[in-house]
Chains A and B, each alone.
Chain A
Amino acid sequence: MKQVLEGNSAVAEAVRLARVQVISAYPITPQSHIVEVLSDYCATGKMDARYLRVESEHSCLASLVGAACAGVRTFTATSSAGLAYMHEMLHWTAGSRLPIVMAEVNRALGAPWNIWSDQTDSLSQRDTGWMQFYCEDGQEVFDTVLQAFRLAEWVNLPVMVVTEGFLLSHTYEPVDVPDQEEVDRFLPPYNPAFKVDTKNPFTFNSIAAPSIYMEIRHDNAVAMDQVLERFDDVEKEFEVIFNRRYGALEAVNCDDADIILVTSGTITSTARLLLDDLWAKGEKVGLLKVKMFRPFPVESICRALKTARKVAVIDRNFSSGAGGIFLQEVRAALCNMQERPLVFGYVVGLGGRDVTTALLNDIYEKTKDSNVPPDKSIWMGLREVKT
C-alpha cells in the first residue's frame, strides 16, 4: 500500500517488516527520527524487538556484535560523527562476519559544525569491510533496507544503507509499503551458521595467529567478491515479489553517449532532469548511477563507460589531497582498459549546499570544452569569499 513517508520513516518501516530483533542506537541528527520511531515500536509492542539504549556509538555497535553473535537480526542507524565513533567496531563487525544492517544518513563531519548532507562520513569508512549502497529516493531506501538483510545474511557481511541528510531523511515521498506476509516471503528468519550456544560454549574471534589470520581475511575478501553476483540474485528474488529492481549500477543512455555523468544518491534525480533538457538539444549525454560502492563493481563500470569519450564524476564528498572519492574509484577501475575515456572529477554540494540542474549543466559544459582533465577534482559553485 502506498504511503506518504518521511525518508527516515521508510527506513523504520522496512526495519519493522524485516522483524529485526535487537536495535541499538545513539541519537544523532539527521538520523534520529529512524530510531525514535523504532523505539516507539519497541515500547508499544508494535515490534517484538529489544531496543538497547547505549552511551555511545562505539558501545552501540559493540552491543549489536554481541546480539548478532547470539543469532538474532540486528539493526542500527547513525550519521557523521556517530559513524566515525563506530570506526573500530565497524572493522570488528565485518571481521566477525556478522550481518548487521545500518542506515547511514549522510551528514558532514565537523569542524565546523554542519548537519547537512555530505558523503564524506560514509566514504571515510570504505575500508572497514561493510557493503555500501547509496540510495536515490524514499522507495529505494525502503527496498534497499529489506534487500540488505537478505544479502547480509547470505554472505555473512554487514551492510550500510546510505541515505542523505534532509534530502532523503526528512523528505516525504510516496512509498509502497508491502504487507508483512509479502516481506516474510522475501526475507526468511535469520538462521546463522554459528551462534552463541551455552550448552556448547566456544569463543568468537579469539586471537588468530599469523599462521591463520591471512586465510580468515581472504575468506572475507572472497565473500565480499561474491556480493556482485549475490546482490543480483537478491534483486531477482525481490523483483519476483515486489516488481522492482535497481541494479548495482544504473546506466542511462550510456551506450550512445559522448559524455557520461557519474552520480550517486539524490544528485542522480537532478541529473535525470538535466538529461531530458540536453537530449532535447541533441547532446549525446549519458548517466551512470552508482548504487553499490562496496564492493565496487569494477567490471560493470568499465562496461558502462567504455564507449564514452569523457566521463564527469560528480562527488558530494572530498578526500583532501586526493579529490573526490568516487572519482578516485572510477579512475582506478578504468586504468587497465586499453581504450578509456578521459575522466573529469567535480566536487559539489558539500555540507548540504544545493546541487541544481544549472550547476550540473556547468559541469557538462566544462567537460565538453576541455580535453585535458586535471589531476584533482574541480570545485564547482564556490563563492568568492573575501578574507
Chain B
Amino acid sequence: MKVEMTQKPFVAITYETTESNKTGSWRFLKPRYQDKTSPCSAGCPAGEDVGMIEMLARQGLFEEAWETILRENPLPGVCGRVCFHPCKAVCNRKDFDSPIAIHTLERFLADAVAGSGFTALKKVPQKNRKIAVIGAGPAGLSAAWFLSMLGYPCDIFEALPEAGGILRWGIPEYRLPLAVLRSEIARIERMGVRIIPNRAVTFHTFDELRKSYSAVFIGCGHAHGTKLGLTGENPETVRDGLEFLREMRKGKSPLCDGLSVVIGGGNTAVDVARTIIRLGGTAVILYRRRRQDMPASGDEIASALEEGVVLEELIAPWALEGSGSRTVLLLRKMKIEGEDKDGRGRIVFDGEKTVKKVVDHIFAATGAEAAEPWHSPPLPQRGVMGFSHCVLCLEDGGSPVIYGGDLTNEAKNVAQAIASGKQATMVVDTYFERGADEIKPRLEACRVGNGQALSMEAYLEGPRGGRSSHIVQYGEINTDYFRSEEGPAQPRLSAEERRRSFKEVESGISADAAAREASRCFNCGLCDQCDNCYVFCPDAAVIRGRHMEDRHINYDYCKGCGVCAEECPRNAVIMGEEGL
C-alpha cells in the first residue's frame, strides 16, 4: 500500500531576504577596527614596527618584513647582533611563556635578505637642499639614510679610513663581523649617500660646511675614554679601553700579556676584557658597584664570565704605585649603604680597607668623551632647540646645525643613535618645510605609543600613522588563541672556541625556525586577517576584502554584541559608544 502526501506542511518560508530586518538599529555599542601600538615597537628606540615585521615573517614574506625594518632602521644586521633588545623586555609574550626573540629574527631577516639582491625602498625626487653629515657612526649613517628617504642629498665626512664609527672601530669582530657592517653601509650608499673617508672636519672646515650646505648634522660621538683621575696616571700606566678596541679593529695586536685589569662596568669594559681573553691574556674587571648595577648587557657579562673573565665587585681604584711593566694598583673596598637617586645601591668606602694588586696592564673603561669641544651641542640658549635625541642650533652665520648621536643621547647605544639620526631628520625637514614652531607638534604626531620612539613611516603619512597610540597590555590579548611554545635556542660557540678566536659568538637561525618564532608573536594590536571576527559574527556583518583595508563592518546589521572584539586575539577591534 502506498500513501502519498496530500498536502505540503504549513512551514514559515519566505522568499523575501532577511536583509529587510536591519538589526543594526538595535545597536548601542559599536565595534570598530583599530590597530594599536605593540609594546615592543614603543620599547624599540628606533620605533621598529615589530608586530608587523613578525606578521610578515610568519607568512614567509621575509623581504617585506626586512623592508618594514628598513623604513625605521637602516642597520638591521647590526642591531640584530649588538642591540640589547629593550623590545624583548616589554614583549607581552613574556607573561604567557617567553618573549619573542625579536633581535634573533631581525638578524635572520637582515642576513637572509641582504644577500638576495632585493633592493628596498624606492628613491624619491631629490631636493635642492644638500646636507653635510660629520661622522659616519650609526647616528650619522642613520641621519643620512632618513634624509635620503626624504630626498635630501647627503655627504658624510668621516675622519677615519672607513665608515661605521663605534661599530667599525669599537665593537669587537666577535660581536659584529666586518662584512655585516660593510653590507649595511653599502646599502646606505646605494640610497645615494656619499661617504667621504679620511676627511676630518676641523672647527675651521666645519664653518665652511655651514656655508656650502643647507644644514650640517654632527654625530661625532665619543672619541676616547675619560681618565680615572689617579695620581701617576698617564697613557702608559692606564690605557684607554676604547683606544685598545680601536687598535684591534685596525688590525693590530695591542699588548695585553699577563694580568690585565679593566676598570669599569659598561659594555666597553666587557668588550675589552673579552678581547684580552681572546688575545691570550688574563682579564679581571674591577667594578665599584655590584654586578646587578653594571650598565653592561647582562648577556654580555654572562658570556664574559663563561670565557674566563673574572669580575670583582665593590672595589674602586685608589692610587698607582711604581711604573713600567709591573704596576701596583691600590684599591679601596666599597660597600652599599642606602640607595642612590636612580635606585641603585649607594656605594661608600668600606672603612679603610685597601687591596694591593700587582698587574701588567690597566685599562680604563669608565666613561668616554668627545674629541673636540665643538662636537658637543651648545647649552640651551636663544636659537637652540633641544629634543630628546638631538639639538637644533639656529645661530646666525650659517646653515642650521643639528647635533646628534651619543653626545646628545641620554642612553648611548646603537638603537639610540639611530633614533637620533631619525629625529634629526624630522627636525630639519620640518624646519625647512614648515618652520621651527611646527617641529614639536610634528614629532609628537610621529611618536610610537607614549614613549620617545619615533616612526618615519608615520612621518611620511604611511598607514602606521593611523594607529592608536594605546599600547596593548597582556590582559588585552585573547590568549585562548595561542599555544604555549618555547622560542628557539640561540646557537652560539662554546666558551672554549670563543677563548681561542674572534669568530662571531652567536650564529643565525634557519628560515623554518624564524617563521616558527615569528608565528609565536601576538602581533599586539594589529589585525592579521585571522578572520575570527568574520567567523564569530552572528549577524554576518563582517565584510572581508582582498586587502586588509577592505575589511569592514556592515553597520546596517551589526547589533553591537561585541563578539568580534572579544574574540579578536590581538585587540584590533574596539567597542565604543555610538557616535564616537
A binds B: yes
A208 x B12 contact (CB < 8 A): yes
Stretch at the interface among A20-28, A51-59, A232-240, A339-347: A232-240
Stretch at the interface among B14-22, B37-45, B84-92: B14-22
Query: How near does chain B come to A153, taking the closest CB pair, in angstroms?
Result: 9
Report which of A95, A193, A215 forms a contact with B8, defined as CB distance below 8 A.
A193
Report which of B1, B10, B16, B18 forms a contact with A219, defined as CB distance below 8 A.
B10
A156 x B9 contact (CB < 8 A): yes
Query: How near does chain B come to A69, taking the closest CB pair, in angstroms?
Result: 10
Stretch at the interface among A197-205, A277-285, A307-315, A352-360: A197-205
Q: Does A211 contact B (CB under 8 A)?
A: no
A205 x B12 contact (CB < 8 A): yes
Which residues 198-228 in A have Cβ within 8 Å of B in the complex?
A: 200-208, 212, 215-216, 219-220, 223
Which residues 1-47 in B have Cβ within 8 Å of A in the complex?
A: 1, 3, 5, 8-18, 21
A202 x B12 contact (CB < 8 A): no
Report Cα–Cα, A200/B16, bound state, in Å. 11
Range for the number of chain A residues in contact with chain B: 20 to 34
A97 x B17 contact (CB < 8 A): no
B5 x A154 contact (CB < 8 A): yes
Known: A233-B3, A237-B1, A240-B1. A193 touches B18 (CB 8 A): no
Known: A154-B3, A154-B5. A216 touches B15 (CB 8 A): no
Residues of A within 8 A of B16 (CB): 203, 206
A206 x B12 contact (CB < 8 A): yes
Q: Does A246 contact B (CB under 8 A)?
A: no
Chain B, Cβ-Cβ closest to A191: B5
Query: What residues of chain A have their CB less than 8 Å away from a CB belonging to chain B?
Result: 95-97, 154, 156, 193-194, 200-208, 212, 215-216, 219-220, 223, 230, 233, 236-237, 240
B9 x A203 contact (CB < 8 A): no
Known: A154-B5, A233-B3, A240-B1. A97 touches B14 (CB 8 A): no
Residues of B within 8 A of A203 (CB): 13-18
Report Cα–Cα, A204/B15, bound state, in Å. 9
Report Cα–Cα, A38/B16, bound state, in Å. 39
Report which of A202, A220, A223, A230 forms a contact with B14, defined as CB distance below 8 A.
A202
Residues of A within 8 A of B21 (CB): 207
B18 x A206 contact (CB < 8 A): yes
Query: How near does chain B come to A95, taking the closest CB pair, in angstroms?
Result: 8
Residues of B within 8 A of A215 (CB): 10
B9 x A219 contact (CB < 8 A): yes
Report Cα–Cα, A219/B11, bound state, in Å. 9
Known: A202-B15, A203-B16, A206-B18. A236 touches B9 (CB 8 A): no
Residues of B within 8 A of A216 (CB): 10-12
Residues of B within 8 A of A233 (CB): 1, 3
Assuming A205-B13, A223-B9, what are 16 further A-B pairs, CB within 8 angstroms? Answer: A96-B11, A97-B9, A97-B10, A154-B3, A156-B9, A204-B13, A205-B11, A206-B13, A206-B14, A208-B12, A216-B12, A219-B9, A230-B3, A236-B1, A237-B1, A237-B3
Chain B, Cβ-Cβ closest to A207: B21
Report Cα–Cα, A93/B18, bound state, in Å. 20
Chain B, Cβ-Cβ closest to A237: B1
Query: In the complex, which of the residues B1, B3, B8, B10 has the most CB atoms of chain A within 10 Å of its own CB atom?
Result: B10
Chain A, Cβ-Cβ closest to B7: A193
Q: How many residues on the B side are at the interface (Cβ–Cβ under 8 A)?
A: 15
Query: In the complex, which of the residues B5, B16, B17, B21 has the most CB atoms of chain A within 10 Å of its own CB atom?
Result: B5
Report Cα–Cα, A96/B11, bound state, in Å. 6
Residues of A within 8 A of B14 (CB): 202-203, 206
Report which of B1, B3, B8 forms a contact with A194, defined as CB distance below 8 A.
B8
Query: How near does chain A come to B23, taking the closest CB pair, in angstroms?
Result: 11
Report Cα–Cα, A230/B1, bound state, in Å. 13
Report which of A156, A204, A223, A236 forms a contact with B12, defined as CB distance below 8 A.
A204
Cross-chain pair count, CB within 8 angstroms: 57
Query: How near does chain B come to A244, taking the closest CB pair, in angstroms?
Result: 16
B5 x A193 contact (CB < 8 A): yes
Query: How near does chain B come to A386, taking the closest CB pair, in angstroms?
Result: 50
Query: How near does chain B come to A91, taking the closest CB pair, in angstroms?
Result: 13
Report Cα–Cα, A201/B3, bound state, in Å. 30
Chain A, Cβ-Cβ closest to B20: A206
Query: How near does chain B come to A294, taking the closest CB pair, in angstroms?
Result: 17
Looking at chain B's contact residues, is the secondary structure mostly helix, strand, loop, or mixed?
loop
Residues of A within 8 A of B18 (CB): 203, 206
Which residues 465-520 in B have Cβ within 8 Å of A in the complex?
A: none
- Residue pairs across A and B with Cβ atoms less than 8 A apart, 25 shown, are A96-B11, A97-B11, A156-B9, A193-B11, A194-B9, A201-B15, A202-B15, A203-B13, A203-B14, A203-B15, A203-B16, A203-B17, A203-B18, A204-B13, A206-B18, A207-B21, A215-B10, A216-B10, A216-B11, A219-B10, A220-B10, A233-B1, A233-B3, A237-B3, A240-B1
Report Cα–Cα, A233/B14, bound state, in Å. 33
Query: How near does chain B come to A302, taking the closest CB pair, in angstroms?
Result: 27
Query: How near does chain A come to B486, taking the closest CB pair, in angstroms?
Result: 30
Residues of B within 8 A of A194 (CB): 8-9, 11, 13
Report Cα–Cα, A240/B18, bound state, in Å. 47
Chain B, Cβ-Cβ closest to A222: B10
Residues of B within 8 A of A200 (CB): 15
Query: How near does chain A come to B461, taking the closest CB pair, in angstroms?
Result: 45
Query: In the complex, which of the residues B1, B8, B9, B13 has the most CB atoms of chain A within 10 Å of its own CB atom?
Result: B9
Residues of A within 8 A of B9 (CB): 97, 156, 193-194, 219, 223
B11 x A204 contact (CB < 8 A): yes
Residues of A within 8 A of B12 (CB): 95, 204-206, 208, 212, 216
Report Cα–Cα, A97/B5, bound state, in Å. 14
Residues of B within 8 A of A193 (CB): 5, 8-9, 11
Residues of B within 8 A of A212 (CB): 12
Residues of B within 8 A of A204 (CB): 11-13
Report Cα–Cα, A30/B342, bound state, in Å. 69
Query: How near does chain A come to B376, taking the closest CB pair, in angstroms?
Result: 68
Residues of A within 8 A of B10 (CB): 97, 215-216, 219-220
Report Cα–Cα, A233/B5, bound state, in Å. 12
A202 x B13 contact (CB < 8 A): yes
Report Cα–Cα, A56/B110, bound state, in Å. 49
Query: How near does chain A come to B22, taking the closest CB pair, in angstroms?
Result: 13
Chain B, Cβ-Cβ closest to A96: B11
Residues of A within 8 A of B8 (CB): 193-194
Chain B, Cβ-Cβ closest to A234: B3
Report Cα–Cα, A208/B14, bound state, in Å. 10
Residues of B within 8 A of A208 (CB): 12
Query: How near does chain B come to A109, taking the closest CB pair, in angstroms?
Result: 30
Report Cα–Cα, A113/B15, bound state, in Å. 48
Report Cα–Cα, A203/B21, bound state, in Å. 13
Query: How near does chain A come to B54, taking the closest CB pair, in angstroms?
Result: 32
Report Cα–Cα, A204/B3, bound state, in Å. 27
Report Cα–Cα, A97/B17, bound state, in Å. 21
The 8 A CB mask of B320-362 against A (1 = contact, 0 = none) is 0000000000000000000000000000000000000000000
Chain A, Cβ-Cβ closest to B8: A193
User: 10 nearest interchain CB pairs?
Assistant: A219-B10, A156-B9, A97-B9, A193-B8, A202-B15, A208-B12, A206-B14, A205-B12, A97-B11, A203-B14
Residues of B within 8 A of A201 (CB): 15
Report Cα–Cα, A158/B5, bound state, in Å. 16
Report Cα–Cα, A236/B3, bound state, in Å. 11
Report Cα–Cα, A200/B14, bound state, in Å. 11
Residues of B within 8 A of A240 (CB): 1
Residues of B within 8 A of A220 (CB): 10
Query: How near does chain B come to A259, taking the closest CB pair, in angstroms?
Result: 38
Query: How near does chain A come to B498, taking the closest CB pair, in angstroms?
Result: 54
Residues of B within 8 A of A236 (CB): 1
Residues of A within 8 A of B3 (CB): 154, 230, 233, 237
Report Cα–Cα, A203/B13, bound state, in Å. 6
Report Cα–Cα, A205/B14, bound state, in Å. 8
Residues of A within 8 A of B5 (CB): 154, 193
Report Cα–Cα, A200/B17, bound state, in Å. 12
Report Cα–Cα, A233/B3, bound state, in Å. 8
Query: In the complex, which of the residues B12, B13, B14, B15 has the most CB atoms of chain A within 10 Å of its own CB atom?
Result: B12
